[in-house]
Amino acid sequence: TPPAEKYEYQAEVSRLMDLIVNSLYSNKEVFLRELISNASDALDKLRYLSVTEPLLLKDAVDLNIRIQTDKDNGIITITDSGIGMTRQELVDCLGTIAQSGTAKFLKAVKESKDAGTDNNLIGQFGVGFYSAFLVSDKVVVSTKSPKSDKQYVWEGEANASSYTIREETDPESLIPRGTRLTLYLKRDDKGFAHPERIEKLVKNYSQFVSFPIYTWQEKGITKEVEVDEDPVEAKKDGQDENTEKKKKTKKVVERFWDWELTNETQPIWLRKPKEVTTEEYNDFYKKTFNEYSDPLASSHFTTEGEVEFRSVLYVPAVAPMGKDDIINSKTKNIRLYVKRVFISDDFDGELFPRYLSFVKGVVDSNDLPLNVSREILQESRIVRIMRKRLVRKAFDMILGISMSENRGDYETFWENFGKHLKLGCIEDRENHKRLAPLLRFFSSQSEDEMISVDEYVENMKPEQKDIYYIAADSVTSARNAPFLERLLEKDLEVLYLVDPIDEVAIQNLKSYKEKNFVDISKEDLDLGDKNEEKEKVVKEEFGQTCDWIKKRLGEKVASVQISNRLSSSPCVLVSGKFGWSANMERLMKAQTV
Ligand code: ADP
Ligand code: MG
């Protein structure tokens, strides 16, 4: 047999292992979640491929995960009948970091270090395969890919800079397909190899894995056996010792070991909404998306008719990690299933527009082909209909939060995802009617608490036709803008647009409930109080002054005009009707839009 070959880990891997061991030592049990999730991924991949290549399943059609424990020796084995790995894949997957989960983990650790917060939240991340070394001295991975006719064994030890790969030669260890992980537990962690402990952890961490997970458990069955009657008893009954012994039955418990199904495999979205508790929805969310806090809202629905699908959607309570303001459309937030087979979570706007990419959830369709490709997704009429329905449901869900008795919920939402909705105003004309009621702004009459446009409209004066706004870089500078004076004097409310994207969003909306949004800093602001007589007199009096100022300023201004919009300031710079507002100019200069 060929000897084992030695390989060095990529430098980042060693660093990652250190990090994992040092940041997760108090939360070691996550190793099981990680390894089961890898097994489940491997089964998903196989099931997906076998749709087009049924031969892959060959003589091992059962897709499941089996966990066996040897408590005396402190050994856990986790076996899956999934896609397995070729020799090259072993090197690529278990010797280098190219994987999403681990990359995310590293990023989070770095960010929390940069921010100077030593956070305990790291436990939430998918830290992946190397978490096995949290509890193990040695890890052995024996794996057989359907692409290869050989089975290979990867072997690594904690705190080592290298690992080995060899061919599996022990006939006892050969598996038809899949991966068997053997963990040789550290002395202090041998307790994990107790069957009850494993059962509890599986129930806790993996109840939503959609493949059956069996654990090796000791069981007992009660049997009735015939026994000879006790002679003493017989005597008491006054029987002669010599009479024939009476037969009696007795209950005994026979002990044996067997596989026991340990998780619930009915996907939550196939159950009746009435029968699922909020806690179950929240649990499913946290486990599926590796989140540590409950979502703000969820929605479980089935659509029928033209296109049939089931879905559970969520609005997260926290914004994704990362300080970048760029709204990312590729989030892996939506998991698409076709007839319960996981297809993909790699979407780029096919199911949700970019601005709703924060919505998480699962979608299971019976109408799409199992071997659906990216091109099919992009061109499918079915997908277009699905998208429309999903978007509507997402809006209902957000509207629900906005109507919640707990005002804080929507404030949280707005803080995290308000920017997304404003982007929606710019990118999705079709949904303006749904977006507008969800927007929130400060106003001249509500500088501490944001109001909705509906609240603004309710508060409008009977003769007021337009919705007034001013864009500025803060509430303070909005309040101090000279443009505001006349409106405040007339007790007209003005929305303060203080987020850079606000103005563009409002300009895209143009109007709400047939009332135009009007920028009070523009030149032709008409408050409906023109006094033509007075204007004529003033123009005559100050016309020459204006001409003189214009001459002095020359090209610096477009024109100098007499205005009726000020009450105490002598003059103000305004934007032309068709020009950019001062705020926009500032933005353009800063190139932030
Ligand atoms: P992630 O799961 O985020 O990709 P992991 O560190 O958990 O990162 O796993 C790294 C890679 O190793 C996986 O992407 C997969 O390709 C491979 N792998 C791990 N466990 C298994 C398994 N049981 N069967 C097949 N491949 C596996
Ligand atoms: Mg993983």
Give the number of the atom of ligand 1 that is nearest the alpha carbon of residue 78.
23
Ligand-binding annotation for 80, yes or no, is: yes
Contact 184, 139 (CB under 8 A): yes
If the chain, 593 residues long, is cut into consecutive pieces of 10 residues, what is the mean pLDDT of each piece?
A: 89 80 78 90 90 80 94 97 96 77 64 58 62 95 95 95 94 94 97 96 82 94 82 57 70 93 89 94 90 94 92 94 67 88 85 95 89 79 94 97 94 95 95 97 96 96 94 92 87 94 94 94 74 79 86 85 73 70 68 46
> Any idea which ligand is nearest the CA of 102?
1
Q: Is the CB of 444 under 6 A from ligand 1?
A: no
ipTM of the complex model: 0.99
Query: Model-level pTM greater than 0.95?
Result: no
Per-residue confidence (pLDDT) for residue 238, from 0 to 100: 56
**Å from CA of 316 to ligand 2 middle:** 22
Q: Is the CB of 74 under 6 A from ligand 1?
A: no
Tell me how many degrees the CA angle 523-528-530 measures, rounded to the nearest 5: 80
Which residues, including other chains, have CB under 8 Å from residue 329's CB and lie 6 or more apart?
Answer: 348, 349, 353, 354, 357
> Any idea which ligand is nearest the CA of 106?
1
Structure tokens at 433: 């009617």
**Positive or negative CA dihedral for 122, 128, 130, 134?**
positive
Measured distance CA(450)–CA(432) in Å, rounded: 20
User: Which residue's alpha carbon is nearest to atom 18 within ligand 1?
Assistant: 38
Q: Is the CB of 83 under 6 A from ligand 1?
A: yes
Q: 307-365, pLDDT tens digit by residue? A: 999 999 999 999 876 655 667 778 889 999 888 888 888 888 899 999 999 999 999 99
SS3 23: helix
**Å from CA of 20 to ligand 1 middle:** 16
Which residues, including other chains, have CB under 8 Å from residue 160's CB and lie 6 or more apart?
Answer: none
- For helices 100-114 and 11-23, the axis angle rounded to 10 degrees is 60
**Å from CA of 39 to ligand 1 middle:** 8
Which residues, including other chains, have CB under 8 Å from residue 335's CB and lie 6 or more apart?
Answer: 288, 342, 344, 345, 361, 362, 363
Ligand-binding annotation for 31, yes or no, is: no
Tell me how many degrees the CA angle 318-324-329 measures, rounded to the nearest 5: 75
Q: Is the CB of 20 under 6 A from ligand 1?
A: no
Out of 47, 83, 129, give the residue to mutate to test ligand 1, the one with the largest number of ligand atoms within 8 Å of its CB. Answer: 129
According to DSSP, residue 324 is labeled -
Residue indicated by tokens 């297809």: 343
Q: Is the CB of 129 under 6 A from ligand 1?
A: yes
Selection from 591, 593, 537, 592 nearest residue 564 by Cα: 537
Per-residue confidence (pLDDT) for residue 377, from 0 to 100: 81
Q: Is the CB of 79 under 6 A from ligand 1?
A: no
Pairing of strands 162-167, 151-157: antiparallel
**Å from CA of 55 to ligand 1 middle:** 23
Per-residue confidence (pLDDT) for residue 237, from 0 to 100: 57
Selection from 16, 586, 53, 82 nearest residue 370 by Cα: 53
Q: Is the CB of 69 under 6 A from ligand 1?
A: no
SS3 266: coil
Calculate the CA 344 to chain-centre distance: 14
